[in-house]
A and B are shown apart, each in its own frame.
Chain A
């Protein structure tokens, strides 16, 4: 069922529900059956919301029977990363510190999905507080890659990406702070979009790096991803960092090729440090765009690319150390049992040490250090200065091209346990962090396969466009997809 070109579009699925050829209940039942058969193997979800989903599906079918208006996602099952608040089920962020946390409210993105008739069927496993690139940092165990269950799905939104690849749902939500949507999309052979900073409300997204975080969609096709982003994008008075810029109709011209398209291909993006299959996929994609009439612009350079990781691993932990200070064992979350001689400091320090896993502790420590007296200028201020230079580099590049093409990740999915050293894990994000640093939009789409130990592993190619230029991003991606959708293979799981 999953993978290949035989997957119906979300629009077709909704048309079926609206015209009562199928029903929302049928779609949800099919989704729940798929989840039940594959969860023991994959662990994509922390929680399956069976009752909630069936109840909502019945209501949507009843509304259709009464002739009421249902939205653009009527009856569509959706998987949601477990760091996005839902007023039903739990919202744990993959962390023991939030093991039983039940959000009192829905994230704006959830409200908007539901307004369009979507049905949340499960909360997806993720790296704890979205910190990681493999989904191995979850307190609830790793998610496995549906293409090869000995490998990671990428992260931190690995559960969302793997769930779409494995056919749990036609779409999922993830969050992307430094590549956490695009890299797992690449490793699982699906489309993943990091919208421009400020495009989607962060209200109800548990904060990691507040100047970097964005919620975005996973789907099988660019058009499906655009449809989901359409539903969730836009100004929200509850998130003062959302942009007061109208959301264009992403689907209106999505199938119209960009005339006089100029694709930027920085030479350093096909570095010899990348897996050869990754470089081949990127160069093949450039050839395809050239065949489609695009000019390939090699005369652009993003020399600070390699400094992106250093910049990111100052800014993101700094913001995380501040954001995660709220987990103190007082108002919600895990609280340590105190001995009679222990005081409030012990309550904070022991609750946090017991509740947070090692990667989260490491990033809190790193962030606390770079913000501490005597180091702030050397690390945090410097990183913010480099951030401005990185943004300026993108501005200069986009003066010469519509979109920048490159790899999403330097390698295909790696084996579980394959990156035990934290720094080697951080380097997975070398091609993705800069879009977050600069606030531009980017997506990963399937661009080919690598043959590794007789297994075919998906490879993602990344496109990056100016901030708030999602219409161009989708059109450019759609041009490649239209020419290559038939090359997609069915995901081999089950």
Chain B
């Protein structure tokens, strides 16, 4: 049976997942995730030596398409969902410091 998650662990995972959580959310998710992980821990009891992981139900491998250019989607249709645009560009907050990064 795994140890329940600590508050620091949940905060770390939230940071990795890019989710800004309030303290009470962290606490709620800590309890809920701990009980789910506790259920999942049953997998630990299975003997899985020499069993190959199966990432895809039909054991497929990558399929390469032919290199044929096709017309792109119209810019207007793509930009109509953008939260902020400047001309034909997506507008985002400044990422680099003055003088470049």
Contact = CB atoms under 8 A, between A and B. Distances in A.
Q: Do A and B form a real pair?
A: yes
Contacts of A329: 83
Interface string A365-408: 11011001000001101111111110100000000000000000
A467 B58 CA distance: 9
B17 interface: yes
User: Interface residues of A toward B: which range?
Assistant: 35 or more
A438 interface: yes
Nearest to A241: B60
A161 to B, nearest CB: 24
Given A104-B74, A347-B93, A437-B57, A364 B17 contact: yes
Given A385-B48, A388-B52, A423 B39 contact: yes
B23 interface: no
B84 A335 contact: yes
A365 B39 contact: no
A104 B77 contact: yes
B8 interface: no
B1 interface: no
B13 A368 contact: yes
Contacts of B40: 310, 313-314, 379
A331 B10 CA distance: 28
B83 A365 contact: no
Contacts of A467: 57-58
Nearest to B40: A310
A240 B63 contact: yes
A330 B35 CA distance: 34
A388 B40 CA distance: 17
Nearest to A384: B53
Contacts of B77: 104-105
A240, A325, A328: residue with the most chain B Cβ atoms closer than 10 Å: A240
Judged by DSSP, the binding face of A is: helix
Interface in B18-41: 18-21, 25, 29, 32-33, 35-37, 39-41
Contacts of B57: 197-198, 211, 387, 391, 436-440, 467
A104 B51 CA distance: 43
B20, B36, B62: residue with the most chain A Cβ atoms closer than 10 Å: B36
A365 B29 contact: yes
Contacts of A325: 18
A307 B95 contact: no
Nearest to B56: A211
Interface in A327-349: 328-335, 338, 342-349
Interface in A438-487: 438-440, 467
A328 B74 CA distance: 22
Given A384-B53, A389-B51, A366 B33 contact: yes
Contact of B92 (A100, A102, A344, A440): A344
B10, B77, B83: residue with the most chain A Cβ atoms closer than 10 Å: B83
A332 B82 CA distance: 4
B65 interface: yes
Given A330-B90, A335-B83, A366 B36 contact: yes
Given A211-B56, A368-B13, A381-B53, A423 B35 contact: yes
Nearest to A334: B83
A123 interface: no
A104 B10 contact: no
Nearest to B22: A353
A385 B49 CA distance: 9
Given A241-B60, A349-B18, A422 B32 contact: yes
Nearest to B52: A388
A350 interface: yes
Interface of A: 100-102, 104-105, 197-198, 211, 237, 240-241, 243, 306-307, 309-311, 313-314, 321, 325, 328-335, 338, 342-350, 352-353, 356, 361-362, 364-366, 368-369, 372, 378-379, 381-389, 391, 421-423, 426, 436-440, 467
17 contacts: A101-B81, A105-B73, A241-B56, A243-B58, A313-B40, A331-B90, A332-B81, A346-B20, A350-B20, A365-B33, A366-B33, A369-B37, A385-B52, A388-B51, A389-B51, A422-B36, A467-B57
Interface of B: 5, 9-10, 13-21, 25, 29, 32-33, 35-37, 39-44, 46, 48, 51-58, 60, 62-63, 65, 73-74, 77-78, 80-84, 90, 92-93, 95
The 3 closest A-B pairs by CB, nearest first: A439-B57, A384-B53, A335-B83
